Amino acid sequence: MSEEENINTGENGFWSDENKKNRKPEKQPGVAGEILSWLAMVAIILAIIWALTHFVIVNARIPSGSMENTIMTGDRLIGTRFTYWFDGPKRGDIVLFHWPVDPDTIYIKRCIGLPGETVTIKQGKIYINDSKTPLNEDYLKEEWVTENDGYVFHVPKDCYLMLGDNRNNSQDSRYWAQVALDEGVANDEKDAQKYTYVKKSQIMARAWFRYKGGFKVLTNTAHYN
């Protein structure tokens, strides 16, 4: 036994009679102390969960079919808030955000247009700026036939254009200006245009993976042919 161990445990490696006399009995925690300790542990766990769900991740349930077949009605997913702390969405990201027309409503759509870009929708194809090549959107549910032509969007600074993957049944940036007018949120047609786009400050999180409805990583898949 080493000298250090003798110092810690008593001379010659065991407790002397004098040490035994001077040793105070350990206090056993009472029932009240155990309850307080348990409540403190629960409070700490709840505080951690609250911090995670309010600042780090989003746990969301999908209420509609606007993102089919990428995400189905009733699916549940996890989104990451921290993805956009220092940068904005990339084209193709699936994004959770506060709907511009009614910020209390949370939407999930795919980011198509980035700040400063011109996005043209022509015969069911999307063209960015002056590109002659359309985006390859192999994530679309089916052939896009509804409201698929004659749109030109000039995305403002610090804003994003959002569309659903189920283009034939998705309330997205194509419609929001008219909805703002119809619901009296916008004063006139010019004022209504600002509700077409999602501001950076309105974005909550990037969808990361689906855990109910079959595990699926929600990757960025928008690209040119």
Which residues carry out catalysis?
A: 66, 109
**Beta bridge mates, 61:** 76
DSSP 78-138: EEESGGGSSS-PPTT-EEEEE-SS-TTSEEEEEEEE-TT-EEEEETTEEEETT-SS-EE-T
Residues, the chain: 225
**Beta bridge mates, 106:** 98
**Cβ-contact 176, 160 below 8 angstroms:** no
